[in-house]
Amino acid sequence: MQNILINQAQTYQALVPVNKRKLNFGLEQVYVKLNRIRRSRGYSFEHVLVQKLNSNSWNARRLGGSSANLPDIIAVNNEESIFLSIEAKSGTADNLYVQSDQIQRCFQLRNMFKVYKTTHVILAFKFMQKKRIREEGKTAYRHRKLQEYYKIADKYSKMKNLPVIKCTYDGRTYELMNSHTRRCIMKDYVMPF
């Protein structure tokens, strides 16, 4: 049986031209590398946020994000009875998106901590100093000012079908739902750092 499987695999490999095999493997390597860069960029932003929040009366922890079906970060201030459930996004594009299921996870966790007087779901956006540009099929980067925004998403807590939230480099937010986009006003949250 094992010999039959090996023979079938060798036959399949022989059917695929050598140059196509190398091309597919090369593209796969590029995508793997890009995903690692995106993940490390996101992890770095989350790590820095946790470090900034862990001061004075605040305690914060990174939870592992979507891989653990949890928000990226939780932060508490036990002296002032404040709980924050934070979803963090960072990137080099002009628009960053938070998926509806990620927002839902933030609300689910926030609702577990009703003993706190003040609870918020915060969407944190970091637009990197390097802006990615596609020109003539090539990727280039241009320098720009680093921007960070912290938006309160509490107004979505009662909705059953949550939208995808888009934040632009200038801090404007939009709701994307059922292939419609509309401007939404989200209050800024003043982070304690």
State pLDDT tens for residues 100-138. Answer: 999 999 999 999 999 999 999 999 999 999 888 888 888
CA angle 162, 167, 172 (to 5 degrees): 110
Instruction: Give the domain range for residue 20.
Output: 2-184
Q: Which two tokens stand for residue 151?
A: 């938006």
**CA dihedral sign of residues 158, 156, 90, 140:** positive
Dump pLDDT digits (tens) for 66-103.
667 899 999 999 999 999 999 999 999 999 999 999 99
In a domain, 193, yes or no: no
Q: What is the pLDDT of residue 68?
A: 73
Instruction: Give every CB contact of residue 163 below 8 A, 6+ residues apart in sequence.
Output: 100, 156, 175, 176, 177
- Does 86 map to a domain? yes
Asked if residue 128 belongs to a domain, the reply is yes
Task: Tell me if 191 is assigned to some domain.
Answer: no
Confidence of residue 36 (pLDDT cuts 50, 70, 90): low
Q: Is residue 178 part of a domain?
A: yes
Provide CB contacts within 8 A for 175, sequence distance 6+: 163, 164, 165, 166, 181, 182, 184
* Number of domains the chain contains: 1
Residue 83, domain CATH? 3.40.1350.10
Taking the model in full, what pTM does it have?
A: 0.78
In this model, does residue 16 exceed pLDDT 70? no
Mean pLDDT for the stretch of residues 55-76: 87
d(CA 11, CA 7): 6
Among 105, 142, 106, 128, CA closest to 37: 128
Tell me whether residue 192 is in a domain. no
Q: Please report whether residue 87 resides in a domain.
A: yes
In the chain, % of residues over pLDDT 90: 64
Phi (first) and psi of residue 168, to 5 degrees: -95, 165
